Amino acid sequence: MKDLLSDDFQQAVSDCTMRHRSILDTLAKHHEAAARVNRAVCKAVTSCGCVKIDAEKPKIPEDISLQDLPRFMSNHIQGQLCDECRETLENEIGLQFFYLAALCNAYDLNLYDILLKERKRLKTLGVFNLS
C-alpha cells in the first residue's frame, strides 16, 4: 500500500533537485534546515514575543506510573504563534521535509514506508518508547 501524497512529494523533490544531488550537499542542507526551524522558534520568542518559553524542572511524584507521566510534563510554551511566525515556522519545516525527502531519494528509500515502520514501532512500544 502506497500513499500518493507522500510518493508525489518525493517525486516533486526529485524533480526539483537538479543541481544538488550530492549526498554531502543534501546532508548539509538538511542540517541547515533544522537550524532554521530552531531559529524560527527562537525568533517567535525573542523578536516577536507571540510565545514565551517558561521552563522549569517538572515536579513528578515518585510513585507515578508511566501512563500518568504526561499529566506532569509540559511543552513549556505559553501563548500562540502569530500568523507571521506560524507561516515562517511552517515554511522552515517544509524545507526540512524537502531535504529529508531528498535524503530518502538519494538512498532509494520510500518516505511513506519509513513512516509506516516508525508508526508500527511507536504502536508496539507505546509508552516504553520514551522519546
How many angstroms separate the CA atoms of 124 and 9, rounded?
A: 28
**pTM of the predicted protein model:** 0.84
3-state secondary structure of 101: helix
pLDDT computed for residue 124 by the predictor: 87
- 73-113 tens-digit pLDDT: 899 999 999 999 999 999 999 999 999 999 999 999 999 99
Question: Considering only CA atoms, which of 34, 4, 18, 8 is closest in space to residue 94?
Answer: 34
What domains can you pick out in the chain, each with its CATH number? Answer: 4-129 (1.10.287)
DSSP secondary structure string for all residues of 7-66: HHHHHHHHHH-SS---HHHHHHHHHHHHHHHHHHHHHIIIII-SEEE--------TT--T
